[in-house]
Chain A
Amino acid sequence: MKLNKQTIALLLGLIGLVAPLLMPLEGLNFAGQITLGIFLMAAVFWLLEPIPIFATSVVVILLQVFFLSGQGLLGDYLGQIEGYSPQSFRDFYGTLASPIIILFLGGFCLAAASVKYGLDRNLTRWLLRPFGTRSQYVCLGLMVATATLSAFMSNTATTAMMITVVIPIIAQLDKADPFRKVVALCIPFAANIGGIATPIGTPPNAIALAALREQGIEITFSTWMMVAVPLVAVMLLVAWRLLLWIFPPATERFEVKFEGTLDKSPAAIGAYCVFGLTVLLWVTEALHGISSTVIAFIPIALLPALSVLDKSDIRGFSWEVLWLVAGGISLGLSLEQTGLAAWLVDLVSWGALSGFMLFAVFGAVGFGLALFISNTVAATILVPLAVGLGVSGAAGADFNMTILILVIAVTVSFPMVLPISTPPNAIAMSTGIIQTKDMARSGLIIGLCGFGVTLAFGVFYFPFFF
């Protein structure tokens, strides 16, 4: 066997899997040791990617079912550990259909319907209209439209659509005009930021929501938006001003034309109605009290029933994203339930840190990880530790676990320094209009502002809600 990068990563992962079983770890039971092994293996695989990240997630579930469940190979043995009862394999499988996964599936259905009938393009047309033709306001308009769409659709798909429309137009600008760079960068940045706005905006949000649900804390769709939308609005304005400051445009006027008319076929009307109804019910959750995860099933059932979505549309969903999230949720279950999360947290003495410093430390680690690896994975690794802090009580009395988890979920969306940081960044780079150093410079400044703004919101604004 050749010792290439992939093989080394696989070996390291396997060492991580086995090592915790071979050494005595004080204060950790055998189930915790197994979980630590799975956690280390997953972390290595997610970092070095010898296999796709979603594959690692389902391997995690496989290992949990075989080695941590009461019905698995070690079921009887695990049952004898004092003060511990192994989970049912159903709990691990259940993560694949957990309410949060259903919420995302509902979002996928809406997104697929709106792409199929051009609702996203038409929405963009309407959203852009009030912004006129002065170049800096057109840029703000593009950012608002991108962020709005990416709050409900995939950040990546939104970026692809916006870039497709905008690139031919900026290609006509003078090659030396920095406004070209502003436009090419404002779209991916707004897409990354916009994903924060709703629970279904981007997968890390799901990791946070699922972990909070496990702790009996349910955040409604409307509460999430009340918490996140102001932050998104602030950051869009900050990113907008900063981009114009870093790349001062030479063009005074700039016009973006979105072609097309509203599809008025019966299926399209059905799509609009279901979209409108679902979003309306989601944002009014506080009024009627029906959980957003319950409402999410309306589009899942109605869109195929109305022949808005057909078989091939359903096959085209990004199922691997759901696997990625489910594996993350499942791993979180064992981390908490076996006491591993609390044990890991106890390795550091947190009592000395104030609430603000905790936000700063977790946020900084999340930001750093998400620069290089998947945002979802960064959240998956950090959120269970935040839960551990909450459960073990190691962080002192004024510690607010909910806010810490939200801070993590939000900060992992901000690293947009490198083309590999997020898929929208990669798409923007492929236009050839910007260079890596343009993205690194503006992305780092804006990302760090995002980090700072999140900390400020965590300290001054989030406590009004939690």
Chain B
Amino acid sequence: MKKIYILCIEDEPEVLEAIERDMGVLEDSFPLETAENTTEARQVIAEILEQGDHIGLILCDHVMPGENGVDLLVELNKQEKTRASRKVLVTGQAGLDATIQAVNEAELSHYVAKPWDPEKLIAAAKLLLTEYILETGLDPKPYMEVLDGARLLKAIHEKGLISDS
């Protein structure tokens, strides 16, 4: 079965650790990959896609050494295989311009201001991964218990997301 990854790009080790801890509840269903900068992120993304797996959710910091996060998100939004990936900016320092760019050009799905409330972050991640599955039409059966079950059930009833076999 193809896996759906969560990718986290963050240069500060303590912050990365906090996100890893919060996303741990989804780990069984959605493996987490991390990167410290955009260059490493591109490598990780290429590796995941090469295996034929999916990237469902990208949590990205803005201010990092080298290229900034919003530019990477804009680029990923232009690429076929990462367009549907839900993109989240996790930052304390993105200015208005960068944020506007992220919304308009990267179709940002969600904005998380540091410091965040873990429960809200997990809820957002579940919602965004549900949207990803609905948009891509992937088999929702393995994820129904962890994600937004009500929304998936609605899609099964109304859109035939799963059919009889």
Asked if residues B165 and A157 are in contact (CB atoms below 8 Å), the reply is no
Interface residues of B in 138-165 (CB under 8 A from A): 141, 144-145, 149-150, 153-154, 156-160, 162-165
Residue of A at shortest CB range from B155?
Answer: A160
Asked if residues A423 and B162 are in contact (CB atoms below 8 Å), the reply is yes
Identify which of A53, A195, A427 contacts B156 (C-beta below 8 A). Answer: A427
Asked if residues B165 and A376 are in contact (CB atoms below 8 Å), the reply is yes
Interface residues of B in 34-79 (CB under 8 A from A): none
Instruction: Check A317 for interface membership: any CB of B closer than 8 A.
Output: yes
Asked if residues A430 and B141 are in contact (CB atoms below 8 Å), the reply is yes
Chain A residues with CB under 8 Å of B162's CB are 156, 160, 423, 426-427
Identify which of A163, A195, A423, A430 contacts B163 (C-beta below 8 A). Answer: A423
Chain A residues with CB under 8 Å of B154's CB are 160, 164
B163 to chain A, nearest CB (A): 4
Chain B residues with CB under 8 Å of A375's CB are 164-165
Chain A residues with CB under 8 Å of B149's CB are 430-431
A182 to chain B, nearest CB (A): 19
Residue of B at shortest CB range from A5?
Answer: B1
Identify which of B157, B158, B159, B164 contacts A423 (C-beta below 8 A). Answer: B164
Instruction: Check A453 for interface membership: any CB of B closer than 8 A.
Output: no
Residue of B at shortest CB range from A54?
Answer: B165
Residue of A at shortest CB range from B150?
Answer: A164
Instruction: Check A161 for interface membership: any CB of B closer than 8 A.
Output: yes
Chain A residues with CB under 8 Å of B145's CB are 429-432
Total interface residues on B, CB under 8 Å, equals: 16
Q: Choose, from A80-88, A318-326, A341-349, the stretch at the interface.
A: A318-326
Instruction: Check A330 for interface membership: any CB of B closer than 8 A.
Output: no
Asked if residues B158 and A154 are in contact (CB atoms below 8 Å), the reply is no
Asked if residues B159 and A203 are in contact (CB atoms below 8 Å), the reply is no
Chain B residues with CB under 8 Å of A318's CB are 160, 163-164
Q: A157-B157, A157-B160, A161-B157 are in contact. Are A321 and B141 (CB under 8 A)?
A: no
Instruction: Give the complex CA separation of A53 and B153 in angstroms.
Output: 22
Q: A426-B141, A427-B144, A432-B145 are in contact. Are A164 and B165 (CB under 8 A)?
A: no
Asked if residues A321 and B164 are in contact (CB atoms below 8 Å), the reply is yes
Mark each residue of chain A from 404 to 435: 1 if its CB lies under 8 Å from any CB of chain B, else 0.
00000000000000000011001101111000
Instruction: Give the complex CA separation of A430 and B144 in angstroms.
Output: 6
B146 to chain A, nearest CB (A): 9
Instruction: Give the complex CA separation of A324 and B149 in angstroms.
Output: 27
Residue of B at shortest CB range from A161?
Answer: B157
Chain B residues with CB under 8 Å of A320's CB are 163
Residue of A at shortest CB range from B147?
Answer: A430
B86 to chain A, nearest CB (A): 21
Asked if residues A427 and B153 are in contact (CB atoms below 8 Å), the reply is yes
Instruction: Give the complex CA separation of A431 and B149 in angstroms.
Output: 8
Instruction: Check A316 for interface membership: any CB of B closer than 8 A.
Output: yes
Asked if residues B164 and A154 are in contact (CB atoms below 8 Å), the reply is yes
Identify which of A160, A317, A321 contacts B165 (C-beta below 8 A). Answer: A321
Instruction: Check A202 for interface membership: any CB of B closer than 8 A.
Output: yes
Interface residues of A in 342-387 (CB under 8 A from B): 374-377
Identify which of A160, A202, A422, A429 contacts B157 (C-beta below 8 A). Answer: A160
Instruction: Check A28 for interface membership: any CB of B closer than 8 A.
Output: no
Chain A residues with CB under 8 Å of B153's CB are 160-161, 163-164, 427
Chain A residues with CB under 8 Å of B141's CB are 423, 426, 430
Interface residues of A in 152-185 (CB under 8 A from B): 154-157, 160-161, 163-164
Asked if residues B144 and A164 are in contact (CB atoms below 8 Å), the reply is no
Asked if residues A164 and B157 are in contact (CB atoms below 8 Å), the reply is yes
Chain B residues with CB under 8 Å of A432's CB are 145
Chain A residues with CB under 8 Å of B165's CB are 53, 203, 321, 324, 374-377, 423
Chain A residues with CB under 8 Å of B164's CB are 154-156, 195, 202-203, 318, 321, 375-376, 422-423
Chain A residues with CB under 8 Å of B150's CB are 164
Interface residues of A in 266-322 (CB under 8 A from B): 316-318, 320-321
Chain A residues with CB under 8 Å of B158's CB are 115-116, 157
Q: Taking each of A53, A156, A317, A321, which has the highest tally of chain B beta carbons within 10 Å of its own beta carbon?
A: A156
Q: Taking each of B144, B149, B160, which has the highest tally of chain A beta carbons within 10 Å of its own beta carbon?
A: B160
Instruction: Give the complex CA separation of A156 and B141 in angstroms.
Output: 12
Instruction: Give the complex CA separation of A156 and B154 in angstroms.
Output: 11
Residue of B at shortest CB range from A373?
Answer: B165
B105 to chain A, nearest CB (A): 28
B53 to chain A, nearest CB (A): 13
Asked if residues B144 and A316 are in contact (CB atoms below 8 Å), the reply is no
14 contacts between A and B (CB under 8 A): A154-B160, A156-B156, A157-B163, A160-B162, A164-B150, A316-B160, A317-B160, A321-B163, A321-B164, A321-B165, A374-B165, A376-B165, A423-B164, A430-B145
Interface, chain A (partner B; CB < 8 A): 53, 115-116, 154-157, 160-161, 163-164, 195, 202-203, 316-318, 320-321, 324, 374-377, 422-423, 426-427, 429-432
For the A-B complex with A164-B157, A203-B164, A321-B164 known, give 10 more contacts whose Cβ atoms are closer than 8 Å.
A116-B158, A160-B157, A160-B162, A161-B153, A318-B160, A426-B162, A427-B144, A427-B153, A430-B141, A430-B145
